[in-house]
Amino acid sequence: MTICEDVKNYSSIIRQLDDSIADRNVDIWVNNAGINIRSQAIEVTSEEMDQIIDINMKSSFFLAQAAAKRMKKQGGGKIINMSSVGGHVALRTGVVYAMTKSAIIQMTKNLAMEWGGDNILVNAIGPWYFPTALTEELLKDEQYVSDILDRTPLNRIGKLEELAGAAVFLASDASNYITGQTLFVDGGMTIYGF
């Protein structure tokens, strides 16, 4: 089941989850919403910070919490959070985005530790550049893409099926002994350095 709604209104999503599938298990939960406002740190406004934190961080936590409550009753499940390479390495702009994605990595570790005894596995995915709504305009800029490729050992932008493959792996039985980890799907970017 996919719930499409403004994730800032996570309490409504939780109610929808409870109402629509009250009699079914929640085996896999993926927190995949996110935004970025690419401002230099000196220009970030309080409103921008609140918006990014609400969508990238608060919604992920409270939706994971709601999923875990159901998973605990049913004997386990898997939660996959979407982080970013920006949660692991410094970015040129988007400091608040990076802060929230770093928080997702740490949240994933803490939730995995707290909920592991209930057989709830919590992992994250940390992508680099893929063709998404968040990157669409940036990837039209040839110089920007050239800079990205210079920092990517595989020398290309990721394909969406490669990102989906990471989620399928973390949702499958093949990952049943993996929890608290962030799988970077980044063409090697996080090993490259600057």
Which residue is listed with tokens 């406004």? Answer: 45
Q: In this prediction, what percent of the chain has a pLDDT beyond 90?
A: 75
How far is 125 from 180, CA to CA, in rounded Å? 11
Which residue is listed with tokens 């999503």? Answer: 13
- Which is more confidently placed, 21 or 102? 102
Evaluate if residue 136 carries a pLDDT over 70.
yes
Residue 59, token pair as written in the block: 């919604």
pLDDT at 123: 98
* Catalytic residue status for 97: yes
Render pLDDT for 156-172 as a digit per residue (tens, 0 to 9).
999 999 999 999 999 99
What is the reported pTM?
Answer: 0.91
How far is 98 from 85, CA to CA, in rounded Å? 8
Q: Where are the domains of the chain?
A: 28-192
**28-192 adopts what CATH topology?**
Rossmann fold (3.40.50)
Evaluate if residue 185 carries a pLDDT over 50.
yes
166, 125 Cβ separation under 8 angstroms: yes
Active-site hit among 10, 97, 129, 192:
97
